């Protein structure tokens, strides 16, 4: 199984049960991910899990309209770690978004 290991970056929230041992590739949020989305202007409910497709669309649109708020958020940290894993400098990507 280790021969097929895929590098990853993971963001988990307060509901993470800790089955997998977190590493430096884990970003652990103090609250639900919906609270972080709300800080960026997401209008979804805080009471239940958000629809992943709606969140994807929100983040995509937010990157186009206000990339600085995304870059400074925990989502930005996930993107930065992911971009570094493919050998690219995140700042080069964020400047061209």
Q: Where are the domains of the chain?
A: 2-96
* pLDDT 10s digits, 33-73: 888 899 999 988 877 888 889 999 999 999 999 988 899 99
Q: What's residue 4's pLDDT? A: 57
What whole-number percentage of the chain has pLDDT above 70? 90
Report the relative pairing of strands 26-28 and 10-12 from DSSP bridges: parallel
Cut 0.85: pTM above it: no
Give me the phi and psi of 58, to 5 degrees please.
Answer: -60, -50
Contact status, residue 12 vs residue 21, Cβ threshold 8 Å: no
State the distance between the two ends of the chain, measured CA to CA, in whole angstroms.
Answer: 36
Phi-psi category of residue 18: left, alpha or beta, with phi > 0 → left and psi -120 to 50 → alpha: left
- CA–CA gap between residue 1 and residue 10 (Å, rounded): 19
């Amino acid at each position: 199984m280790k021969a097929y290991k895929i590098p990853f970056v993971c963001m988990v929230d307060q509901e993470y049960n800790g089955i997998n041992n977190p590493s430096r590739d884990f970003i652990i949020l103090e609250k639900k991910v919906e609270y972080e989305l709300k800080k960026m202007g997401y209008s979804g409910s805080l009471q239940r899990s958000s629809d992943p497709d709606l969140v994807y669309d929100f983040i995509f649109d937010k990157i186009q309209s206000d990339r600085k708020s995304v870059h400074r958020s925990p989502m930005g940290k996930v993107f930065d770690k992911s971009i570094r894993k493919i050998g690219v400098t995140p700042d080069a990507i964020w400047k061209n978004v």
